[in-house]
Structure 1
Amino acid sequence: MTAAVTCAVPAQAAPGTRGLETLADQTVRAGAPGVAVRVSGPGASVEIARQAAWTRADHRLSADDQFRMASNTKTMVGTVALQLVAEHRLSLDDKVEKWLPGLVPDGGAITVRMLLNHTSGLPDYIYAPEALLSITGQVPRSWKPAELLALVAAEPPLAPPGASYSYSNTNYIAAGLILERAGRRSLPELVNERIFRPLGLRDTYFATDGTSRDGDRLAHGYEPDREHVGPLLPPGTPDSIFFVGPQRPGHVDVTNHDQSWLWAAGGVVSTPADWERFLKALLSGKLLPPAQLAQMRTTVEEPDSKGTARYGLGLEQYLSPCGPVWGHTGGDPGYGSQNYVDDSGRSAVTVVTTTLFGTHEPTLAAADHKLVDGAICAMLRKPIPAG
């Protein structure tokens, strides 16, 4: 069922690190097409990759592969925003209308801060019928950021601006456009100049379509096929919505789906090692002055998390069984990722599965959750929770 593991476990490895191999195996047996894990601390790093046998003909999975990082991109966008704040080129209290006149409903009441911490009340464009058809590959097309904003221009707000947290990708499309105007560069240029290049993230890039910059370095991503995906989609999704792509056992390959619908909300492709370098640099203060890092870490409650998560300015705090960590999660068809770093910026963890909606199946969801928590505990040098 699984391919060979790639694993380097040093003698001084964190407690229970070898147990991650078992958890990775269990995640694939529960239905994940593949999973990659990287745990690093002051000592050597641990890398694990497992994949279902039927995926090997497409790609031999490695923890050094590139993955679509999806909403983890928001942490980079938040970082660039706060760099511009530190340079007095942008204020978190600026009204959206100042930068994007006429483009965002209630733009005169919504601030940049509200965009970054998801308290704007803007609805999420990804649920618009036209977007769903594009995201699933049924009606392939390329999107411009302003077109994504237009999808929800006539929709009622989820809440009054600033009233409550409600995660919406629309916030980061608007934020990305503001950064382009404040920074006088395209968003990919801003992220490249301010993060990729200074940190030497050579395996990281901003995807604007469905192609892979580095060929087979991009791991293949899969979603359950039409026969199996229905119960795994969000409630209310029309029966006519399903994923399109080359057929695989119980799945379709969605690797080459267009990515322009993500943009500032989730367009970055990276490797676990590169993302680790970014998170460590961020939390150790190498990318932001202390005042702006403190602003990024000022959080609001995520009501649906049942007390386990809070959201800052593109940065999430997760209260794991072994202690609090900082990072983000990401979901793009074919790719689910969870990336965290400890408070000091010395240790980091990445867990990527090569499916998103597949992880909504209860058995796989439970296995994936155990793997993520186990990896975090290993990163924090604490025993992996039993059961």
Structure 2
Amino acid sequence: MPLTRPRLRPLLAVLTAASVLTLAPGPVSAQAGQAYDEARLQRRLEELVARADGPPGVIVVLRHGSRREVLRAGVAEVGSGRPPQPTDHMRVASVAKAFSGAVALGLVDQGLLGLDDTLAQRLPELPAAWGAVTLRQLLNHTSGLPDYSGSREFRAILQADPHHRFDPHCLLDFVAGEALEFTPGSRYAYSNSDNIAVALMAEAASGHRYEDLLRTEVYRPLGLRETSLPSGYRLPRPYLHGYAVRPPAAPEDVSTQFGASGAWASGGIVSTPDDLARFIGRYAGGRLIGPAVRRQQLTFVDGASEPAGPGRNEAGLAVFRYTTRCGVVYGHTGNTAGYTQLAVGTPDGSRSLAFSVTSQVNQSGTPDLLAELRRVQEDFVCALLAD
């Protein structure tokens, strides 16, 4: 039986036009009303794809109330000449952690889970040494769980068979013999293991598969018709092709190089720029949870998303606060083979943007490109917040 949510209020079909800097009413403007015109933003995207190490394509969907703007540069597939489209499918990478957060926080709002519930209480089959870790600490990456995606065995399996189908319920087994990296709650450390554990706790509390919870708690309420969590490596068509860019070599298409089962709740979701912008607006605006849980979600600690987003980064419960020169937005970033994502919305949910790049950009592999990407992203956040 699907999980029902009688307390969920009907969502507004159209978002309001105002934006706020904090939860209290108040206007947000881009540098005291400075305008960011479309031509300038378009040039910024074209300059990004023109770099020798730049992505083959980039698309940005901005939602201002009932208005939608789409800017793009480059191509959806090298050699095709086809521009990226807002209905093209793509891997959202670690923005999937916001989806698992939406599920878990929704269950907290319904009283089925508690933010201070521990792994020992909900998942007693996991190592006893991890037992004191709470859902709250998993959601803000202060758990200390070792990251399964960095284990030698996990990486060896992927290297031998990139399309290997993992049982997502067994992903934490790769690090089950390891101790916590620090005392839970004592510091911040981004870990893919955190959101695997979040999804497992959600399943244990609800009695439903995580994939089903995504449908009942997120996709249906928000009208996300092109978003899914596949287990294989194929992408629905049409899709944005993702590339490994290693100049002077030609870009290599890695769109389907890896399956999604090895990322699952930490990074396996497939969506479109349109759906992603719709989701993050509602999620950033707290539309899926009540005010009590929302206040808990918006308790922040120092910590950057991966890769870092624009401005100053701070971690809440499955959401990051990005404080830019023009104001504050909430959201998440992500990167995986062939894709880099930024999805943010204003604190009231009235405005949002999805910024999608068709190559992997991060601090360890492309630090100069990441620095430029963050500057361009900040320009777009300023445009989003402009009056």
**SS in structure 2 at match of 1:40:** strand
Partner amino acid for 1:181? A
Aligned partner of 2:85 in structure 1 is: 62
Moved more, 268-277 or 333-342: 268-277
Distance in 2 between the 1:198 and 1:330 partners? 24
Aligned partner of 1:7 in structure 2 is: none
What is the CA distance between 1:60 and its match in structure 2?
4.5
Residue 190 in structure 1 maps to residue 213 in structure 2: yes
Partner amino acid for 1:251? E
Distance in 2 between the 1:64 and 1:54 partners? 14
- Retained in 2: the 8 A contact 1:85–1:92? yes
What is the CA distance between 1:133 and its match in structure 2?
4.1
What is the CA distance between 1:34 and its match in structure 2?
1.2
Distance in 2 between the 1:325 and 1:36 partners? 19
What is the CA distance between 1:15 and its match in structure 2?
3.1
Distance in 2 between the 1:175 and 1:269 partners? 19
Change over 3 Å in CA distance of 1:178–1:59 after alignment to 2: farther
- Retained in 2: the 8 A contact 1:96–1:107? yes
Distance in 2 between the 1:54 and 1:352 partners? 14
Partner amino acid for 1:143? F
Unaligned runs of 5+ in 2: 1-33
Residue 163 in structure 1 maps to residue 192 in structure 2: no
**SS in structure 2 at match of 1:110:** coil
Distance in 1 between the 2:293 and 2:142 partners? 19
Change over 3 Å in CA distance of 1:307–1:355 after alignment to 2: closer
Residue 129 in structure 1 maps to residue 152 in structure 2: yes
Moved more, 84-93 or 51-60: 51-60
Distance in 2 between the 1:121 and 1:28 partners? 38
Residue 217 in structure 1 maps to residue 221 in structure 2: no
Distance in 2 between the 1:221 and 1:97 partners? 40
Residues 106-153 of structure 1, C-alpha deviations (whole Å, 9 max, x = no match)? 232111111111111011111112333455675431111233101112
Change over 3 Å in CA distance of 1:136–1:358 after alignment to 2: farther
From 16, 23, 43, give the equivalent of 2:44: 23
**SS in structure 1 at match of 2:211:** helix
Residues 62-98 of structure 1, C-alpha deviations (whole Å, 9 max, x = no match)? 2331221111111121121111112211111111011
Distance in 2 between the 1:283 and 1:366 partners? 24
Aligned partner of 1:322 in structure 2 is: 326
Aligned partner of 2:373 in structure 1 is: 368
Aligned length: 348
Aligned partner of 2:116 in structure 1 is: 93
Runs of 4+ with deviation above 3 angstroms? 56-60, 133-140, 303-307, 357-360
CA RMSD of aligned residues (A): 2.6
**SS in structure 2 at match of 1:37:** strand
**SS in structure 2 at match of 1:217:** coil
Change over 3 Å in CA distance of 1:126–1:23 after alignment to 2: same
TM-score, normalising length: structure 2: 0.83
Residue 348 in structure 1 maps to residue 352 in structure 2: yes
- Retained in 1: the 8 A contact 2:75–2:81? no
What is the CA distance between 1:290 and its match in structure 2?
0.8
Distance in 2 between the 1:378 and 1:264 partners? 31
Change over 3 Å in CA distance of 1:371–1:133 after alignment to 2: farther
Match runs of 1:228-247 below 5 Å: none
Distance in 2 between the 1:58 and 1:134 partners? 36
Match runs of 1:1-387 below 5 Å: 15-30=36-51, 31-42=54-65, 44-51=67-74, 55-57=78-80, 60-104=83-127, 106-135=129-158, 139-212=162-235, 214=236, 216-224=237-245, 249-302=250-303, 308-357=312-361, 360-381=365-386
Residues 269-325 of structure 1, C-alpha deviations (whole Å, 9 max, x = no match)? 112221222222234443111111111111111179798111111011011121111
- Retained in 2: the 8 A contact 1:223–1:251? yes
Partner amino acid for 1:161? P
Distance in 2 between the 1:378 and 1:357 partners? 22
Identity of aligned residues (%): 32
Distance in 2 between the 1:329 and 1:310 partners? 12
Change over 3 Å in CA distance of 1:94–1:187 after alignment to 2: same
Residues 190-244 of structure 1, C-alpha deviations (whole Å, 9 max, x = no match)? 01111101211111111221122x3x2221111146x98xxxxxxxxxxxxxxxx
What is the CA distance between 1:256 and its match in structure 2?
4.5
What is the CA distance between 1:14 and its match in structure 2?
6.2
Change over 3 Å in CA distance of 1:307–1:278 after alignment to 2: closer
Distance in 2 between the 1:53 and 1:220 partners? 6
**SS in structure 2 at match of 1:331:** strand
